[in-house]
Structure 1
């Protein structure tokens, strides 16, 4: 738990001013707790028992004033709490989001990140607020009560301190077991979240394969396991009860049993009553709040925050360094094959070698032992039925997804392990739903190349036939609001941004689907004439007609040829073109068990210039 301690200490150091304000108002809040016993004793001994009720009422009036001051202090402490809690939550959200994005960029899909980002972050935020108030309340309330006791009757304070310390000791001894069970609960919560995501994501496959009962039992088993963990966690309430009985309730009979001795020592009835008030109204509630607060919120805070810090720290995105032991011999044939593959990858704008990818450990592969080489300046269109793996292939090439086996190279450099900045210099991906952020038109267009001049942007817009779009949006200084743009306008802004990007490889994943055929033809032709390599995932047959080569993914094999070549030798391609010509979307005629039918080993194409 050292990471939790370090993170918490760093947070508190950064918020010293807010802590000082909280402590100042806490002193005002505990003023009644510090004075209640003392003023009660004076009212009884010097007022009511002495036959001077006016004096007694005066002491009680002073206590009423202290209560009003304490109420103001309570109000202000809760106002100060937000200054401590909200920055803590924001920092934690940034860490979790950065870790999830770093994992996704590296191809590591983490379903439990959803549970961390929503349920667990909010749990930590709420328990952090509660923990601050609990610890603060105990320190100030118990401290005020003990100071009042010592000022009233030091022997009573000593009698009370012994069982209080014993109760705290019992609670501290049980904390390791409580933390272990709370950690088990958090992990079971994450496992249940992962299982739920997997079951929901594969519900169509489950229905087709008739595995509904098996999946129901599988999910139900995880639900039952979490319930057992929660029951074990609930048994720790007995330990908390024992700690409270010893530290909170035992001081009362101790003081009562010692009352005759205390009276013989000169303690008056009012002082004895005041001492009991300090115990019942000060020490006992403070200890109860501390034990219940730490047992309920403190354990959840410690274990959940530890889990978040361990799993959500952004992963390093540097190229891996592999150490080679000189004593290990290398097979010459293997070394020659690896050298040849590396040379071919370096000579290609894009190279995939033996790539296998599946969306789950038990799913059929979307791509299986897939090979592909694209030379510099190639214009490739990828076609196939919906769900066959076109966007998956685009994600693998772009580095958004990571294959289970095989390698992807762009410009001779491996995609896996590359930093986001390095990937942005080598490729640009425009998905179907184009991304536009709130900002000026200039900022949106220079997002991938901040050093561009306005003249370069204007010339590029003219080259793509988008000058009218820029003018319609209000010029480069105008502010864009994504919800105020149509889907087609967002796509055109994203395409112009991609054209201006420095990356030599452009991947258009149905990036023109919201444009009319004329605009699509104009933009694809412009990108084909742009220096570099172009990959287009098509949704119209016209894109295939404009391409130099076409890659067909049909769920069983991959075919690479020109449009005319595929028409001549591929029945699946002719059917696909027929669907397009009829104005319908290509659909799969028979279902497959996985997300897409696999490509058999050795069936994927190796392109030639």
Structure 2
């Protein structure tokens, strides 16, 4: 797959005739791949060489060669035709390569649209992404890719072939041209009139296929229960209705496709009949046998196949493309913005009230009755043994997980009431395994920002410590291959991306664990000086020393305070830092206000 570039665009609309960004994808694929499009058009001239040379070569081979008693001249003209076919074959090969350069990015863009819409809808609804829906839409993407390439190929071939035929017939005998062009225009008109009905029928068939697939999948998944309940006949009848609907839709589409055959007969075969009927009159006007045979060659060898390809390609693949884009647009569009998306982003003050969370019904809570207040501008480090729930707290604050009980508030607004856009502006979470996608370094860094300037990028890279890596990668506009980056390099890119984001609440969930201590310190100090609230899930205890306050999670309780307060209050924290009071006894715990936590 080619490099995938992520771009943020205004949300599209639905399928009911209103504009949708998915309909812009084909136009953008052509507009942004002008180089490949120019190469495609240039090689199309070479591919169309036989369309122009065929009639000329046949006419001259007959009139000037074999009929005139000069067989070598006739063979020479046939050699010209053979050379034209070789040139055409080369043009066809190179044209396909140029076409791939247009079609593959088109497929990638559609896939991004599907994944983007699915993830945003899941985030807005608080549900898991519908994997089955993604699979169905991915099939539509593949259909759209194949159909898009086919439509470009057949339209280009038709236009160049018709152009070659027109010039060829004009050079042979211009009086024949109306006999060719008038039936062609009538066939094209009939075909164009039938296209909307075929598009509707094709869409109906696709919907019926999806219903049948979903129905049968449900039957297969519940087959044991169906058999146990003795509901075989009822379930079979229900599934049979879906199958019958699909069959009716397929028959309706088949009836409409008969129009294509009529259009092809009028535009492709009627000209041959008209030329043959008009042959005596053409001979009286001075036409030779070679001219008439050359004209028939143009029609039969170039025009009719080109029209057949157009009718088949546009009639089948064009309709499939329209239908697939409609389905992708309607079912993968981002949800409308909620009221939580309106207005300025909330502040960065964080509050957890009685938050409880467990991974599954009946499981012991990982987080139980957690109360925590983190004021705007605070710098908090979260420490504790592995698996104690530190990353779970970060996910709850970020809105990735929803608490079973209690509330998480950012800037006084419950996280569940923030729409996707407002949540993105309010907080940014960087996990341990940083995500870098294929695309330019600039695309990766600017993904969460609002069109950052070059100076913004430079400032962020300098602050986080990514300048050397940016230079090693060739600058902001060079492509990034995630597979060639180390874990630490991916973390530096993700940290710079977060630094550029508008979010004032930053959550670093062991986001510097693959950096050396000096690089980690530089990154954390950059975020602390950036403004807003910083919460660090500590990988090293040095993160706690840099923080203003420390949250210690030990499974039985959670305590928060400064480094010195935690040394006095938490035996676990003293164990982690290696400090004891020298007597072998734990010091008396000093109560710390602002936090209460119990865990079972």
TM-score range with shorter-chain normalisation? 0.5 to 0.7
| 1:555-602, Cα deviation, whole Å (9 max, x unpaired) | xxxxxxxxxxxxxxxxxxxxxxxxxxxxxxxxxxxxxxxxxxxxxxxx
Root mean square deviation, CA, Å: 5.5
Partner of 1:376: 373
- d(CA) in 2 for partners of 1:409 and 1:197? 41
Partner of 1:68: 86
What does residue range 25-64 of structure 1 map to in structure 2 within 5 Å? 25-64=43-82
After TM superposition, give the deviation of residue 181 of structure 1 in Å: 1.6
Length-normalised TM-score, structure 1: 0.60
User: SS where residue 323 of structure 2 aligns?
Assistant: helix
Partner of 1:340: none
User: SS where residue 92 of structure 1 aligns?
Assistant: helix
After TM superposition, give the deviation of residue 396 of structure 1 in Å: 7.3
Q: Does 1:20 align with 2:43?
A: no
Partner of 1:350: 352
- d(CA) in 2 for partners of 1:348 and 1:14? 44
After TM superposition, give the deviation of residue 30 of structure 1 in Å: 1.1
After TM superposition, give the deviation of residue 286 of structure 1 in Å: 0.7
Q: Does 1:441 align with 2:452?
A: no
Partner of 2:312: 292
| 1:236-282, Cα deviation, whole Å (9 max, x unpaired) | 22111111122122222222111222222221111111111111101
- d(CA) in 1 for partners of 2:398 and 2:261? 58
CA change 1:160–1:139 in 2 (3 A) is same
CA change 1:504–1:6 in 2 (3 A) is closer
User: SS where residue 350 of structure 1 aligns?
Assistant: strand
- d(CA) in 1 for partners of 2:226 and 2:556? 38
> Does the 8 A contact of 1:349 with 1:505 survive in 2?
no
User: SS where residue 349 of structure 1 aligns?
Assistant: strand
| 1:472-499, Cα deviation, whole Å (9 max, x unpaired) | xx9959xxxxxxxxxxxxxxxxxxxx99
Length-normalised TM-score, structure 2: 0.61
Q: Does 1:417 align with 2:418?
A: yes
After TM superposition, give the deviation of residue 232 of structure 1 in Å: 2.9
Partner of 1:399: 399
User: SS where residue 160 of structure 2 aligns?
Assistant: helix
> Does the 8 A contact of 1:427 with 1:506 survive in 2?
no
| 1:443-472, Cα deviation, whole Å (9 max, x unpaired) | 5278457689xxxxxxx99xx9x99x867x
Partner of 2:101: 83
> Does the 8 A contact of 2:558 with 2:597 survive in 1?
no
| 1:217-241, Cα deviation, whole Å (9 max, x unpaired) | 6666545544443343333221111
> Does the 8 A contact of 1:347 with 1:375 survive in 2?
no
- d(CA) in 2 for partners of 1:140 and 1:150? 15
- d(CA) in 2 for partners of 1:185 and 1:393? 48
List alignment gaps of at least 5 residues for structure 1: 324-345, 381-390, 453-459, 478-497, 512-518, 537-542, 549-606
CA change 1:182–1:502 in 2 (3 A) is farther
Partner of 1:266: 286
After TM superposition, give the deviation of residue 179 of structure 1 in Å: 0.9
> Does the 8 A contact of 1:349 with 1:412 survive in 2?
yes
Partner of 1:167: 187
Partner of 1:243: 263
> Does the 8 A contact of 2:428 with 2:498 survive in 1?
no
> Does the 8 A contact of 2:121 with 2:335 survive in 1?
yes
> Does the 8 A contact of 1:116 with 1:308 survive in 2?
no
- d(CA) in 2 for partners of 1:392 and 1:194? 35
After TM superposition, give the deviation of residue 8 of structure 1 in Å: 2.8
After TM superposition, give the deviation of residue 176 of structure 1 in Å: 0.7
What is the number of equivalent residue pairs in this alignment? 463
User: SS where residue 95 of structure 2 aligns?
Assistant: helix
CA change 1:228–1:156 in 2 (3 A) is same
Q: Does 1:304 align with 2:324?
A: yes
> Does the 8 A contact of 2:350 with 2:411 survive in 1?
yes
User: SS where residue 373 of structure 2 aligns?
Assistant: coil
> Does the 8 A contact of 1:171 with 1:239 survive in 2?
yes
CA change 1:139–1:222 in 2 (3 A) is same
Q: Does 1:545 align with 2:565?
A: no
- d(CA) in 1 for partners of 2:435 and 2:490? 10
Which of 140, 144, 153 is matched with 1:124 structurally?
Answer: 144
After TM superposition, give the deviation of residue 376 of structure 1 in Å: 2.4
